[in-house]
Structure 1
Amino acid sequence: MSDKAFSQQVISTIDKKIEFYNKEILVKLLENYRLLHTCVKNLIDALVQKSIIKPDPYKLEKKISDIEILPNEPFVDSERALVIGTRISDYEGILDFVSTYYKFSIENLTFPKIKKFVEFNNTFNWHSFTVSSPFANTRGLAILLNEAKYNAPSMTVSMINDTISKCDKVTKNINITLKELSDFQKEVYKAYVRKDIFEHPKFSEEKANQSVESEIAEIKKLFPGVMGKTPYYSALIEEIANEDLGPDKEKRQAAVLEKIKINESAVQKKEKQVDTKEYLMQAVLALSGLAPQFETVLTKINENHNLIQSKNLSFLGKLAVALRKAFNIPEPPVIYNITITEASTGAKIRDKIEFQQFTELLSKKINFLNSFALRQSTAFQKIQTSQPEKILEFLNKNVLEAQKLMTKLTALDEFFKSSVSTDKKSFVKGLKMELTTLKNTLINVNQHKADYLSYIEEQTQMQKLGIKNEA
């Protein structure tokens, strides 16, 4: 094959493979980061629920606009909860940014960016996750999660172990993809040099064709003016010249074409094996992540309720409470007048919450969500055997119920804050952080639903056009 024909074939194939990466490989990479984000949120919720770490009070003020490398320096044991609590919160915040806002494309994932992603992925070593890890973050988090498992229900212990295992598996998959992407980016870089410099009017084929050294010199002369801010990688430029003029150029050219070809049969096989129901089951698992978050909320609103009630009780009232407890007499219903703000219109609506009834409803919801938090649970497997339409109906119903609960919790949060004097406001447990986390979890659930519906719609359109996915 002539050098010119080889260059044209490389450029054409690279363009097609870039499209393949953007539509297939990088979409899967994004899905893996979303799964990692969900897992990390579940671990944080488990630690917060056991009061081992506290939610980061500055989380909402931190503006994340890029991947950041987090510190991994040692710390004294007495500061473990504070340091690890902050670092894993920052780690989760960056994962949230990556999962929600980052554009995964060949153009964005340059060599420096890939290196940064790999370094970020090493914030915690999920593969060797032990209390004796030489890495401060991994060791510290492992110790805290062991504390969370101590005397915890078997379901919680299984959830933590399963989540760590998932973090290990998904991080491996991410790093494998990034390694393959780094190798592919080398070929993309070389193809762009061929396209932009070899086809430039000032490029002299006659001079370049004299020797490997001559082609390198001709590329180097035009590189700054033609390639702009693109870094000059001498090793890759040498590869280009050797592929064109080296003594083993035929072998090198064959190796390049083999490396950049798209394995169509593998793509078709992958398409044929897509499990659409798994999109929905990922949404079901994400939905179960509301349970530990609602548990934290329930603890806080009970504390706020006790604060309000103790403030309003006279001596005789406190005596009556003591007597009711002594004789196991139920407390009389407590009703709070709240103001709900309609999200769509901003209209204010007055409502009443019978507190004990509301907390009982919240407790039942937590138990229900926990029942399908593990794949091996009976409830999860029962949902999995249902038809996709029923699973979608189940998700829509529970998302709507969760949104209604959050609306009332938002109003109840405002009520508690406004019902105490200024000097007592610091004792009120705010729900802003928890409500934000709940909202993000529902966004994740809806994203999995959207992925399912998008795929189904795509298949429907392809069938209408008479296109089939066959291996």
Structure 2
Amino acid sequence: MPDIEFSKKLISAVDERTQYYNSVVLPQLLEKYRLIHTCVKNIIEVLIQKSIIKPDPYKLEKKISGVEIIPNEPYLDTERALVIGTRISDYEAILDFVCTYYKFSVENTGFNTIKKFVEFNNTFNWAQFNTTSNSPNTRGFAILYSEAKMNSPALTANMMNDNIFKCANTTKEINMILKDLNEFQKEVYKAVIRKDIFDHPKFNMAKASESIQAEVAEIKKFFPAIANKQPFYPALVEEVAKEDLAPDKASLQEALLQKLEIKSEKTEKKKKKIDTKEILMGAVHALSGLAPQLMKIMEKINENHNLLQAEHQSFFDKFVHALRKAFNIDEPTVLYTINITDATTGTVRREKINIHVFISEIERKINFYNSFSLKHLPGYQKIEKNTSEKILEFLNKQISEAQRLVVQIAALDAFFKEAGNPDTKKLIKGMKMELTTMKNTIINTNQHRADYISLVEEEAQMRKLGIEND
């Protein structure tokens, strides 16, 4: 007959492992998707900056409610930039949805969802990212990527290579987690049968005990009542019966319980994260993602400023400007008055910006963020040598400064759109997309910082209660 005692042990083990997945493994999976999202955004920024692809004009109109499979059909070479640009944009948008809205849990991530995630992960073959790939998406993206790297500064090329390398490694890790989760979902499926069908008042225990085939038939009879849209998997149901009635059922049961056993992985991984500063340095690396966004913003500010200045320049003014440029003489001070709105009180204050100083400050920030964008760079290694407390202070300061810079750039963007005559206004370049990307980068950095603080506070509370993470 069905082994009721084993069923109880199995259901308990599945419940414990479900909690383990929900509290430890799947939050790690989310972090890995966040890392890929950051890397992909960095690459997109460079491609847009070099005018290899254009920002998707319909991106904000697309409503994403779940993981979708990106098309991978062939296309004409003449349409490569448009087709691949759209597919990259859609891929990034779905990553954003996954990182922001999707709730990773055993209950929410069943067989079909896992399959869809794996297919989505294969949109681009990061591990074999080359221009001769059999995948139209990978081949097209690699060609555009190669064009972007041509004549790029070494720092930019290294950053792009680092992002591809991280996407390859992280996607491999994600697929391993999904593979393990898929295997565990089989045991969840079997546990539901033991929990809901065996306890059914009309389930015939005596008949089910006659043979493996008889138990499978009896389970199949009552399966529709507990299925909840789950298909009937004969192979998994047969495993249930074999664990109850096969001659080697004892070894099958023992192997399954050992497979579900949770070792001390949770404590070790949590401790490792804090000790190695992995989360904090993840925040530092995420912060460096502001560099390509600021580069595009600096270009637009320069262009908009030159448009406004050209309105009022006579031939003599242009001649003087040319002389200044030829002899390396500083341009006269130009002040723009912008309106800064306090997010808390809603009050508006006026602030004067010396545009040349402001552009120089943005350029300084770009070089600063690039200095720690890769792990092997001296800037990254210098930060990593500090204590966790010092790194946290560094992040607090940098996030605060980045948020203030976003406010100033947004106000300057509004100023440019209102200044100048009607003909000039048509040529002014808005910075809404870059500002949105900057805000998302800051949010991502903040999330890493908040995760670290939460873990440290939890550990401190446990020590206070006399509980050690050994």
**TM tier relative to shorter chain:** over 0.9
Unaligned runs of 5+ in 2: none
The DSSP-based 3-state class of the residue aligned with 2:353 is strand
Structure 1 position 284, deviation (Å)? 0.7
Structure 1 position 275, deviation (Å)? 3.7
**1:13-412 to 2 correspondences below 5 Å:** 13-262=13-262, 264-276=263-275, 277-412=277-412
Partner amino acid for 2:358?
Answer: F
Structure 1 position 211, deviation (Å)? 1.8
Structure 1 position 46, deviation (Å)? 2.0
The range that moved more, 242-251 or 445-454, is 242-251
Q: Distance in 2 between matches of 1:355 and 1:278?
A: 38
Q: Distance in 2 between matches of 1:166 and 1:275?
A: 21
Q: Distance in 2 between matches of 1:419 and 1:301?
A: 13
The range that moved more, 216-225 or 439-448, is 216-225
TM-score, with normalisation over the residues of structure 2? Answer: 0.96
Q: Distance in 1 between matches of 2:434 and 2:54?
A: 11
Q: Name the count of aligned residue pairs.
A: 469
The DSSP-based 3-state class of the residue aligned with 1:273 is helix
Q: Distance in 2 between matches of 1:181 and 1:226?
A: 22
Partner amino acid for 1:215?
Answer: E
Deviation readout 1:218-263 (Å, 9 max, x if unpaired): 212211123332222222112111221233323322332222222x
Give yes or no for contact 1:293–1:434 (8 Å, CA) kept in 2: yes
Q: Distance in 2 between matches of 1:78 and 1:312?
A: 42
Q: Distance in 1 between matches of 2:249 and 2:459?
A: 44
Give yes or no for contact 1:308–1:420 (8 Å, CA) kept in 2: yes
Q: Distance in 2 between matches of 1:149 and 1:222?
A: 61
Give yes or no for contact 1:462–1:468 (8 Å, CA) kept in 2: yes
Unaligned runs of 5+ in 1: none
Structure 1 position 164, deviation (Å)? 0.9
Q: Are 1:439 and 2:456 matched, yes or no?
A: no
Give yes or no for contact 2:274–2:452 (8 Å, CA) kept in 1: no
Structure 1 position 47, deviation (Å)? 1.6
Q: Distance in 2 between matches of 1:387 and 1:254?
A: 46
Q: Distance in 2 between matches of 1:23 and 1:418?
A: 50
Q: Distance in 2 between matches of 1:440 and 1:239?
A: 47
Partner amino acid for 2:33?
Answer: Y
TM-score, with normalisation over the residues of structure 1? Answer: 0.96
Deviation readout 1:136-162 (Å, 9 max, x if unpaired): 111111111111221222111211111
Q: Distance in 2 between matches of 1:348 and 1:268?
A: 49
Structure 1 position 271, deviation (Å)? 4.0
CA RMSD of aligned residues (A): 1.7
Q: Distance in 1 between matches of 2:326 and 2:227?
A: 83
In the alignment, what sits opposite 2:12? 12
The DSSP-based 3-state class of the residue aligned with 2:452 is helix
Structure 1 position 424, deviation (Å)? 4.1
Give yes or no for contact 2:273–2:279 (8 Å, CA) kept in 1: no
**Runs of 4+ residues deviating >6 angstroms:** none
Deviation readout 1:260-301 (Å, 9 max, x if unpaired): 222x24444434433441211111111111011100000011
Structure 1 position 326, deviation (Å)? 4.4
Give yes or no for contact 1:341–1:347 (8 Å, CA) kept in 2: yes
Give yes or no for contact 2:70–2:87 (8 Å, CA) kept in 1: yes
Partner amino acid for 2:234?
Answer: S
Q: Distance in 2 between matches of 1:334 and 1:192?
A: 71
The DSSP-based 3-state class of the residue aligned with 2:375 is coil
Q: Distance in 2 between matches of 1:266 and 1:367?
A: 40
The range that moved more, 138-147 or 41-50, is 41-50
The DSSP-based 3-state class of the residue aligned with 1:338 is strand
Give yes or no for contact 1:284–1:395 (8 Å, CA) kept in 2: yes
Give yes or no for contact 2:2–2:245 (8 Å, CA) kept in 1: no
Give yes or no for contact 2:372–2:380 (8 Å, CA) kept in 1: yes
Structure 1 position 125, deviation (Å)? 0.2
Partner amino acid for 1:273?
Answer: K
Give yes or no for contact 2:308–2:424 (8 Å, CA) kept in 1: no
Partner amino acid for 1:298?
Answer: M
Q: Distance in 1 between matches of 2:59 and 2:401?
A: 27
The DSSP-based 3-state class of the residue aligned with 2:250 is helix
Q: Distance in 2 between matches of 1:331 and 1:270?
A: 56
The DSSP-based 3-state class of the residue aligned with 2:128 is coil
The range that moved more, 315-324 or 180-189, is 315-324
Q: Distance in 1 between matches of 2:58 and 2:19?
A: 40
Deviation readout 1:293-322 (Å, 9 max, x if unpaired): 100000011111111111232344334333
Partner amino acid for 1:247?
Answer: P
Structure 1 position 450, deviation (Å)? 0.6
Structure 1 position 6, deviation (Å)? 1.0
Give yes or no for contact 1:304–1:429 (8 Å, CA) kept in 2: yes
User: Closer, same or farther in 2 for the Cα pair 1:271/1:317, shift >3 Å?
Assistant: closer
Give yes or no for contact 1:126–1:168 (8 Å, CA) kept in 2: yes
Structure 1 position 132, deviation (Å)? 0.4
Give yes or no for contact 2:2–2:241 (8 Å, CA) kept in 1: no
Partner amino acid for 1:457?
Answer: E
Give yes or no for contact 1:196–1:227 (8 Å, CA) kept in 2: no
Structure 1 position 41, deviation (Å)? 1.2
The DSSP-based 3-state class of the residue aligned with 2:95 is helix
Determine what percentage of the aligned residue pairs are the same residue.
59
Q: Distance in 2 between matches of 1:89 and 1:337?
A: 36
Give yes or no for contact 1:33–1:99 (8 Å, CA) kept in 2: yes
